[in-house]
Amino acid sequence: ALKLTLLSGLLGTAYVSYHLYREKNPAPQKPQTATFSNGSPRKTLVILGSGWGAVSLLKNLDTTLYNVVVVSPRNYFLFTPLLPSTPVGTIELKSIVEPVRSIARRAPGEVHYYEAEALDVDPQNKTVKIKSVNEDYEYEMDLKYDYLVNGVGAQPTTFGIPGVVENSSFLKEISDAQEIRMKIMTSIEKAATLSPNDPERSRLLSFVVVGGGPTGVEFAAELRDYVDQDLSKWMPELSKEIKVTLVEALPNILNMFDKTLVDYAQDLFKRDRIDLRLNTMVKNVDKTHITAKCGDDVAKMPYGVLVWATGNAPREVSKKLMTKLEEQNSRRGLLIDDKLQLLGAQGSIFAVGDCTFYPGLFPTAQVAHQEGEYLAKVFKKLYKIDQLKWEIAQGKGNASQLESKLARLQNQIEPFHYHHMGALAYIGSEKAIADLAVGESKYRSAGSFTFLFWKSAYLAMCLSFRNRVLVAMDWAKVYFLGRDSSV
Ligand code: FAD
Ligand code: NAI
């Protein structure tokens, strides 16, 4: 037993030391060049975005085969599954980001990065217009590509409901999480200056979340946890007055989960005093109230902080691209084929993740991640195909043999198959729900044990060892010291 303990201790130390060393010391990279050693041109692969799809591609791609260029206004990858935990301080924002520079620097071949936004894609001339997002070094330029991967994600949708953009906060980016935190703290401090029977105090302490999808549910749960577990200790009287409301247009929240899990979550919300307003569709938002339709009734609800989480809409650059290709006739997203090629772009543009619409593929990190992995394999095959085409064009070797080899290679690019592993959601009070799929079998669970599973699954999914350590430390910090109540 002693030997075993010593051995596992040694192995553990070696594992941690190796990862710590790799975190700080990337291996040397092969530089970009115009041609390969055989004289064939090295093609340019432009990747738009630094989210789940783009980063999964980048991490799995053999970047020595292309001149890889990444364009994203966000110079980091954001681990969105833990974003709802950040506004209340369960998780620190820095713990769930990974710089693009470090991801790019760990690739085997040099990767260029522009901190810029793609404005417009020209599929005919194979160029993409980009614009820097930093006012201190403004530039706009056209990048030429041989292959383009669109991984720009989606933007929050408002369905054109008046007042949403002006008065609510989304929960999509780091800046959203910071804004929500600031609004919560300001509302609490402002309410504390008013007398308990002042209606303005009750308005300020009404926190409303619109959208009962997983984003809205997880955030409402985190908010209630913060009030009950931490604020109740520092502001006991005021915390009792805080009301958390979740508004959902459909008869149930979390519609992608099994009915038993939905019922479990809804019962827990009732117990935890999260006011669930089902069948209630918000129609208008002003500075202090939302107006919602519930059957034939119209209700006006006051709010101090309003978080809007009603799903996704395409980004401008994707919308523009849709107008340029006849085959793109869906308003829900870019249409792709089963090999993730953009319809109408003749094999030079691919799209992954939330910017696309393909029946059966939902806008989740899981889908985007698998698509990125798949495309990395496709680009390996495309490299071989392009090499062969070049050899044929140069008149090298036996033409008919090369042609049949080419046809074989082209047939080897198989369609993308998505493996759904299930869905997880945090629902508050250290409980989670899991709707898992293992092969053909389905497993459902809910409660405290599922919360531990949720935690370990998300730790395992973190992009880097560094993220994993920081997230684990954040959870330990909350357990021992609680969340802090300042901005
Ligand atoms: P994103 O990850 O959104 O990345 C898009 C990238 O494109 C970003 O880097 C962005 O800066 C960049 N970009 C934007 N505009 C441009 C432009 N014009 N030019 C160039 N780049 C641009 N899914 C799950 O499966 N499990 C979860 O637990 C989960 N939790 C979530 C929690 C929250 C709060 C949210 C908002 C989403 C969650 N999702 C979850 C969904 C998941 O985050 C998305 O499906 C996933 O991020 C999609 O990946 P993507 O690469 O398409 O887009
Ligand atoms: P969503 O599209 O899943 O849910 C939005 C909800 O808002 C819907 O239930 C809709 O009925 C409701 N809604 C729309 N308009 C409304 C209105 N006017 N008034 C009231 N309710 C209204 O959006 P969400 O939660 O932002 O998720 C986006 C994507 O990210 C989804 O694909 C989701 O699966 C994924 N995601 C997954 C998570 C997980 O697996 N834990 C966590 C967060 C997001």
Burial label, 60 (beta-carbon count in 10 A; 0-12, 13-18, 19+): middle
Q: Which ligand is nearest to the CA of 247?
A: 2
- Domain boundary, last residue among 383, 411, 439: 411
Query: Are residue 282 and residue 325 in the same domain, yes or no?
Result: no
Q: Does pLDDT of 22 surpass 80?
A: no
Confidence (pLDDT) at 25: 82
Residue 88 lies in a domain: no
CA separation for the pair 265, 255 (Å, rounded): 11
Contact between 250 and 278 under an 8 Å Cβ cutoff? The reply is yes
Query: Are residue 344 and residue 436 in the same domain, yes or no?
Result: no
Residue 23 lies in a domain: no
Q: Does pLDDT of 439 surpass 90?
A: no
Query: Are residue 249 and residue 354 in the same domain, yes or no?
Result: no
Confidence (pLDDT) at 135: 87
Q: 317: Cβ below 6 Å to ligand 1?
A: yes
Q: What is the pLDDT of residues 294-352, one digit of tens each?
A: 999 999 999 999 999 999 999 999 999 999 999 999 999 999 999 999 999 999 999 99
Q: Which ligand is nearest to the CA of 251?
A: 2
- The torsion of the CA quartet 206, 208, 214, 218, rounded to 10 degrees, works out to -20
- Domain boundary, last residue among 355, 383, 411: 411
Residue 70 lies in a domain: yes
Query: Are residue 306 and residue 317 in the same domain, yes or no?
Result: no
Confidence (pLDDT) at 110: 98
- Domain boundary, last residue among 384, 411, 438: 411
Q: Does pLDDT of 1 surpass 90?
A: no
Give the ipTM: 0.98
Query: Are residue 212 and residue 303 in the same domain, yes or no?
Result: yes
If you measure from the C-alpha of residue 295 to the centroid of ligand 2, how many angstroms do you get, rounded to a whole number? 21
CA angle 357, 363, 368 (to 5 degrees): 95
Confidence (pLDDT) at 485: 78
Q: Poorest-confidence range of 13-27, 117-131, 155-169, 418-432?
A: 13-27
Percent of the chain residues topping a pLDDT of 70 = 100
Residue 97 lies in a domain: no
Q: 340: Cβ below 6 Å to ligand 2?
A: no
Q: 333: Cβ below 6 Å to ligand 1?
A: no
Q: Is 335 left (phi over 0), alpha (psi -120 to 50) or beta?
A: beta
Q: Would you place residue 478 in the very low, low, confident or very high pLDDT band (cuts 50, 70, 90)?
A: very high
Confidence (pLDDT) at 19: 74
Query: Are residue 169 and residue 289 in the same domain, yes or no?
Result: yes
Number of domains the chain contains: 2
User: By alpha-carbon position, which residue is closest to atom 38 of ligand 2?
Assistant: 214
Q: What is the pLDDT of residues 45-79, one digit of tens each?
A: 999 999 999 999 999 999 999 999 999 999 999 99
For 127, the domain range is 31-75+115-156+313-411
Query: Are residue 226 and residue 294 in the same domain, yes or no?
Result: yes
Q: Would you place residue 2 in the very low, low, confident or very high pLDDT band (cuts 50, 70, 90)?
A: confident
Q: 89: Cβ below 6 Å to ligand 2?
A: no
Rounded to two decimals, the pTM is 0.95
Query: Are residue 229 and residue 244 in the same domain, yes or no?
Result: yes
CA separation for the pair 53, 368 (Å, rounded): 4
Q: Which of 34, 45, 198, 199 is nearest to 112 (CA)?
A: 45
Query: Are residue 173 and residue 229 in the same domain, yes or no?
Result: yes
Beta carbons within 10 angstroms of residue 47's beta carbon? 29
Q: What is the pLDDT of residues 202-245, one digit of tens each?
A: 999 999 999 999 999 999 999 999 999 999 999 999 999 999 99
Query: Are residue 353 and residue 246 in the same domain, yes or no?
Result: no
Confidence (pLDDT) at 461: 94
Mean pLDDT of the chain: 96
User: By alpha-carbon position, which residue is closest to atom 10 of ligand 1?
Assistant: 49
Residue 3 lies in a domain: no
Residue 103 lies in a domain: no
Query: Are residue 168 and residue 297 in the same domain, yes or no?
Result: yes
Rounded alpha-carbon distances, angstroms, from residue 262 to 455, 458, 461, 483: 20, 21, 24, 28
Provide the CATH number for the domain around residue 175.
3.50.50.100
Residue 94 lies in a domain: no
Q: Does pLDDT of 20 surpass 80?
A: no
Best of 86, 132, 354, 369 to mutate for ligand 1, by most ligand atoms within 8 A of CB?
Answer: 354
Average pLDDT (421-442) is 94
Query: Are residue 320 and residue 458 in the same domain, yes or no?
Result: no
Residue 476 lies in a domain: yes
